[in-house]
Amino acid sequence: MRDIAKRIVESNVFSFFIIAVIVLNALILGLQTMNLSEGTRRALATCDQICVFIYVVEATLKIFAWRSEYFKDGWNIYDFTITVLSVIPTNIFPVPIEVARILRIFRAFRVFRLISAFKQLRVIVVGIAKSIPGVLWTALLLFVVIYIYAIIGVTLFDELYPERFGDLGSALFSLFEIVTLEGWPDIAYPIIKEMPFSGLYFITFIILSSFILLNVVLGIIVNNIDESRRSFDGLDNDNPSLDDEKEALRRSLEQMEVQIQDLKQVLERTK
């Protein structure tokens, strides 16, 4: 039975079926947020329950087939956690409506199963996760730059533009707005009009923060995504698919049969 379950969960047909269920379930969750008739809502709820049942069957088959190996893969733990959150009842126990709403929010997490279903998405997620340390250090450097410029801004512009640079807090917030490049002319132009040399302040800050440091963050993420892609490709090469293993086994058996026939002929000639 275990071998049968293993062949089922490792087959391409099963994988494509689960992906189709995940996509269908994502569409159902989106439709349930719309203003639909009561009959349509009941039909969607039934389909949603069927999808959850399929998730439970999938997890059960994989655990039965792979046993402890199932929980050694982080993506399997990820899928299992989402499946457990999906089956939490929201209308059986007498819980406050606020708690029931929070529990129902867990249904939206099922859409995240698309990440584990597609290799390309897993590559991006792993690459972003590996980028977190570098991004945090870059963010710290960006904060230092903003902090220095905030002090300079308060020193230069506190009397001219107290709404934006009257104290350290308002200056930090104003510079953060400039980093996003959203409406920065509304902050800079009134000051530049009164103090033309202040244009150098804003230009150097935008170059350092937006054009250099943020591009460093993008570079870190892109580099780690590329490394993750190579790592995934290496794993695929090191772990051939089940069909390749069957083909290799078949060829080995054929070679053994040929060797046995040759050995028989040698023994017959010896007699």
Residue 77's domain is classified under what CATH number? 1.20.120.350
Dig out the tokens for 223 from the structure. Answer: 């580099």
**pTM summary value:** 0.57
Check whether residue 75 and residue 173 sit in a common domain: no
Residue 257 belongs to what domain range?
242-271
Check whether residue 181 and residue 220 sit in a common domain: yes
Neighbours of 167 (CB within 10 A): 11
Check whether residue 139 and residue 203 sit in a common domain: yes
Check whether residue 208 and residue 221 sit in a common domain: yes
Q: pLDDT truncated to tens, each residue of the chain (271 aa)?
A: 788 888 888 888 888 898 888 888 888 888 888 888 888 888 988 998 898 899 889 889 989 888 888 888 877 888 888 888 777 665 555 555 566 566 666 667 777 777 777 777 888 888 888 888 888 888 888 899 999 999 999 999 888 888 889 899 999 999 988 888 877 888 888 888 888 888 899 989 988 887 787 788 888 888 888 888 887 776 555 444 445 555 666 666 676 666 667 666 655 665 5
Check whether residue 211 and residue 258 sit in a common domain: no
Check whether residue 204 and residue 233 sit in a common domain: yes
Check whether residue 49 and residue 105 sit in a common domain: yes
Check whether residue 149 and residue 111 sit in a common domain: no
Check whether residue 228 and residue 248 sit in a common domain: no
Say how far apart CA 181 and CA 175 lie, in whole Å.
10
Domain boundary among 91, 117, 143: 117
Check whether residue 75 and residue 43 sit in a common domain: yes
> Which CATH number do you get for residue 134?
1.10.287.70
Say how far apart CA 206 and CA 229 lie, in whole Å.
33
Identify the pLDDT of residue 240: 46
Check whether residue 234 and residue 139 sit in a common domain: yes
Domain boundary among 117, 137, 156: 117
Domain boundary among 117, 150, 167: 117
Check whether residue 105 and residue 155 sit in a common domain: no
Number of folded domains that form the chain: 3
